[in-house]
Amino acid sequence: MPLMMSEEGFENEESDYHTLPRARIMQRKRGLEWFVCDGWKFLCTSCCDWLVNICQRKKELKARTVWLGCPEKCEEKHPRNSIKNQKYNVFTFIPGVLYEQFKFFLNLYFLVISCSQFVPALKIGYLYTYWAPLGFVLAVTMTREAIDEFRRFQRDKEVNSQLYSKLTVRGKVQVKSSDIQVGDLIIVEKNQRIPSDMVFLRTSEKAGSCFIRTDQLDGETDWKLKVAVSCTQRLPALGDLFSINAYVYAQKPQMDIHSFEGTFTREDSDPPVHESLSIENTLWASTVVASGTVIGVVIYTGKETRSVMNTSNPKNKVGLLDLELNRLTKALFLALVALSVVMVTLQGFVGPWYRNLFRFLLLFSYIIPISLRVNLDMGKAVYGWMMMKDENIPGTVVRTSTIPEELGRLVYLLTDKTGIVHGLFLAILKPLDGSHQ
């Protein structure tokens, strides 16, 4: 198809050539304007995404060589041997609690209703009549979450502050559980919790083996037999562990608590001693020594231990009653909208009917009682307090005050060979979100 141009187009051709430099200048100005107005937003967003990726990037787990009693020889930096079950910190507590509350329709509904009173055309009452009940609900919820968080902090502090005997060249030294490092030689007495994942080196038992209780790790109440490394068990004295040049080669940290692959090597003997290691030569964290006194070398600490890797991140547990209340609130809101539409229809959609519709929604908002949420939260706190003070079940600890009413929903109790307590634990928590606490 031929290109056709009018005479007027030929006449304006010269002027078009004169406007080209001006268009380039305008394009440069627009580019500069974009960089000043929108470019910094793009750069900030890119930097924030990069920082988030850096912070959330998981460390690659690798196999390691651990020298006996020499933490300074570790090639890489390992995590601290501390336990942390808290859900929030000082900076994320308020935003986290507000998010967990307003993700439910009931609280979000009252927040929108309260914020609408700042609009003069929609204001139908005093601000405190809307904000006071909502603020009271949030205050009760934050107080309850703060108490639970403080209790978690106290339990973590108690576990991390437990003292253990660390074997050094100068003798035994008392160290906290949180100060234990990879390569330390730790002595664990009978009925004492093992603080970290270790390889079993020596025991006070003449048979060279001991029993441990693993009910806190896998839920099984039967005792497990563990065998010490024969090369270190045959040493005449405990201090001879520092007179040998030996190390343990351990596989990378993993979640499987029923398998382990590694080797024990002593280099100063002729010929060098190589002994393969299996699950029978390990002492996992959160287990308890049931017989004798054991000495082990730490191979995994903190987040790299089997018990922590098999523990899900702490999160808010939601009971079935809260979910039912949320569904009931949605049904009442639909009825409220239908009633408001009927009222506007009876007026004949006269004037700004959409504003009248919203005002009817505000007038009928009391159909959804906010006092129900207040009574529910306060009732849960009372239930938890009564459980801990009950003389018929001494020693009961309510770790989560958001689901105590779920005990009343138990109909069938499923147990196995591990006993009733373990079965009750699964029956209460497993149907809610599948996580353990």
Dist CA 334 CA 284 (whole Å) = 54
Q: Would residue 420 be called left, alpha or beta, if left means φ above 0 and alpha means ψ between -120 and 50 degrees?
A: alpha
Task: Tell me the pLDDT of the chain averaged across its residues.
Answer: 78
How sure is the predictor about 30, in pLDDT bands with cuts at 50, 70 and 90? very low
Domain boundaries, the chain: 180-310
Does 154 score more than 60 pLDDT?
A: yes
Q: Answer for the pair 142, 150: CB distance below 8 angstroms, yes or no.
A: no
Does 253 score more than 50 pLDDT?
A: yes
How sure is the predictor about 58, in pLDDT bands with cuts at 50, 70 and 90? low
User: How would DSSP label each residue in 5-42?
Assistant: --HHHHHTHHHHHHHHHHHHHHHHHHHHHHIIIIIHHH
* CATH code assigned to 180-310: 2.70.150.10
Catalytic residues: 416
Task: Indicate the helix (H) or strand (E) that contains 209.
Answer: strand 209-213
Dist CA 415 CA 239 (whole Å) = 47
How sure is the predictor about 22, in pLDDT bands with cuts at 50, 70 and 90? very low
Dist CA 118 CA 158 (whole Å) = 48
Residue identified by tokens 């787990």 is 61
Q: Answer for the pair 197, 283: CB distance below 8 angstroms, yes or no.
A: yes
User: How would DSSP label each residue in 130-165?
Assistant: HHHHHHHHHHHHHHHHHHHHHHHHHHHHHHHT-EEE
pLDDT of residue 249: 92
pLDDT in tens, 386-415: 888 888 888 888 877 777 777 777 777 776
Whether the ω angle into residue 271 lies within 30 degrees of 0, i.e. cis, is: yes
Angle between helices 320-346 and 371-389 (to 10 degrees): 170
Closest CA to 238 of 165, 163, 164, 162: 165
Dist CA 140 CA 376 (whole Å) = 11
